[in-house]
């Protein structure tokens, strides 16, 4: 009989892990307390931009992101083929814009190491910048053009993954409410009980991918899971196709043009617990940045404003791997603002762990056991 797996959490990471595990022949049940893709996945611009978002050094996290980017073509193809739906993957390339000459001083070092890792990035002057993005402000002095970065439409990727999972036979339990207990049995197997489930769910293994709520599970595993929510506020403007052609990054915000004629601008971040309402202060900062970089947006009303909770860890690294002493439990959480980008590689790593295969990548930096254990909490029932 094939291995059975429970996936806790129905964001982009949970759906991706369920999809890959099912693709490898496992029997998968996904349990989501509310609705699919409702938090970090919903507050995402869908950027696949490891070079633009990791500018300091090629550390293990950058390498994880780059590995995932390189697997995106076949990953998207598999999801779209099975689901029959498009995730609107747009290979736009990206431009990092600089407003002052002084900003260019550290750029050569960044270009050097990123190009050694396949960025094919180039420094462009003001004239080249406006050839690529004619609507940019005249005050922009230069930019970095990175051709291999791209983006997907996150809500459609969530929908496509859901459909693909269902095609593969994944059982998806929505509106399950708060999980009351995760019972890990010393003889093997896991039982999950939740408020709105008619009966407990049993499986051989469990994958915790509960986003900003992952810390709630530490009481069952005797493990510190320091994942906390960061509210990401985001807005969009009406955007006729082609007005902004690339993903554009500045030191203050980013802009991504979508096929639904919306220009997404994000993200204002703050610590607000589990509150998901938007604030005038947060959205106001995005509007001011938009007016400065794209003068054609001056005075234009936002078409939509929203927020979601991004799961951040204490050291900024995700939790990927088995829980020490509890081989039935795998963590896949704390991806912060990179959940969309890291969905393929996380799914591959989790599926390899479920199959007992060694990972292609070094995972020491992402070891879920790296924080202080909680020895007084029960570990088995």
The sign of the dihedral angle between the CA atoms of 72, 75, 77, 79 is negative
> Nearest 5°: CA angle at 355, between 354 and 361?
80
pLDDT of residue 373: 62
Alpha helices, DSSP H, located in 244-378: 280-293, 339-355
> Nearest 5°: CA angle at 53, between 93 and 146?
25
User: What pLDDT digit, counting tens, does each position of 61-101 carry?
Assistant: 999 999 999 999 999 999 999 999 999 999 999 999 999 98
Q: Which of 98, 35, 131, 86 is nearest to 258 (CA)?
A: 86
Secondary structure (3-state) at 61: helix
138: which DSSP letter? T
Question: By the 8 A CB rule, do 347 and 19 touch?
Answer: yes
Where on the phi/psi map is residue 266: left (φ > 0), alpha (ψ -120 to 50), or beta?
beta
In CATH terms, 89-150+229-313 corresponds, of 3.40.50.1100, 3.30.450.20, 3.30.9.10, 3.40.50.970, to 3.30.9.10
Q: Which of 10, 21, 13 is nearest to 204 (CA)?
A: 21
Q: Model confidence at 374, in pLDDT bands (50, 70, 90)? A: low
pLDDT of residue 18: 98
User: What pLDDT digit, counting tens, does each position of 312-321 carry?
Assistant: 999 999 999 9
pLDDT of residue 117: 98
Q: Which two tokens stand for residue 9?
A: 């959490």
- The CA-based dihedral angle spanning residues 151, 88, 213, 20, taken in that order and rounded to the nearest 10 degrees: -100
- What average pLDDT does the structure give for the chain? 93
Sketch the domain layout of the chain as residue ranges: 4-46+155-227+315-366, 89-150+229-313
CA gap 155, 39 in Å, rounded: 11
pLDDT of residue 376: 41
CATH 3.20.20.70 applies to domain 4-46+155-227+315-366: no
Q: Which of 281, 227, 222, 249 is nearest to 103 (CA)?
A: 249
User: What pLDDT digit, counting tens, does each position of 182-216 carry?
Assistant: 999 988 899 999 989 999 999 999 999 999 999 99
| Cα-Cα end-to-end distance for the chain | 25
User: What pLDDT digit, counting tens, does each position of 127-162 carry?
Assistant: 999 999 999 999 999 999 999 999 999 999 999 999
Q: What are phi and psi of 312, to 5 degrees?
A: -105, 145
pTM: 0.95
Question: By the 8 A CB rule, do 83 and 161 touch?
Answer: yes
């Amino acid at each position: 009989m094939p291995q059975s797996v429970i996936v806790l959490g129905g964001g982009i990471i949970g759906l991706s892990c369920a999809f890959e595990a099912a693709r490898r022949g496992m029997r998968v049940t996904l349990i989501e307390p509310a609705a699919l893709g409702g938090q970090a996945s919903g507050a995402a611009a869908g950027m696949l931009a490891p070079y633009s978002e990791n500018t300091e050094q090629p550390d293990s996290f950058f390498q994880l992101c780059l590995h995932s980017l390189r697997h995106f073509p076949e990953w998207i193809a598999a999801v779209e083929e099975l689901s029959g739906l498009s995730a609107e993957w747009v290979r736009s390339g990206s431009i990092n814009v600089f407003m002052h000459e002084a900003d260019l001083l550290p750029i050569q070092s960044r270009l050097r190491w990123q190009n050694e890792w396949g960025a094919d990035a180039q420094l462009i002057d003001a004239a080249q910048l406006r050839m690529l993005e004619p609507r940019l402000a005249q005050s922009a002095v230069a930019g970095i053009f990175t051709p291999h970065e791209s983006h997907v439409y996150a809500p459609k990727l969530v929908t496509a993954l859901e459909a693909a999972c269902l095609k593969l036979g994944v059982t998806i339990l929505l509106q399950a409410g708060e999980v009351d207990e995760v019972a890990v049995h010393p003889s093997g197997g896991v039982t999950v009980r939740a408020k709105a489930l008619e009966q407990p769910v049993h499986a051989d293994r469990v994958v915790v991918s509960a986003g900003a709520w992952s810390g709630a599970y530490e009481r069952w595993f005797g493990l510190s899971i320091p994942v906390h929510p960061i509210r990401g506020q985001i807005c969009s403007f009406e955007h006729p196709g082609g007005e902004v052609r690339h993903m554009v990054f500045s030191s203050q915000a980013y802009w991504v043009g979508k096929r639904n004629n919306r220009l997404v601008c994000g993200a204002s971040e703050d610590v607000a617990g589990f509150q998901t309402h938007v604030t005038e202060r947060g959205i106001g900062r995005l509007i001011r940045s938009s007016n400065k970089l794209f003068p054609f947006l001056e005075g234009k009303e936002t078409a939509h404003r929203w927020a979601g909770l991004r799961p951040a860890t204490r050291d900024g690294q995700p939790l990927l791997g088995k829980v020490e002493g509890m081989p039935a439990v795998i963590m896949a959480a704390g991806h912060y603002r990179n959940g969309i980008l890291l969905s393929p590689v996380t799914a591959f790593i989790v599926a390899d762990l479920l199959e007992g295969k060694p990972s292609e990548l070094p995972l020491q930096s992402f070891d879920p056991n790296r924080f202080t254990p909680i020895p007084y909490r029960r570990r088995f029932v």
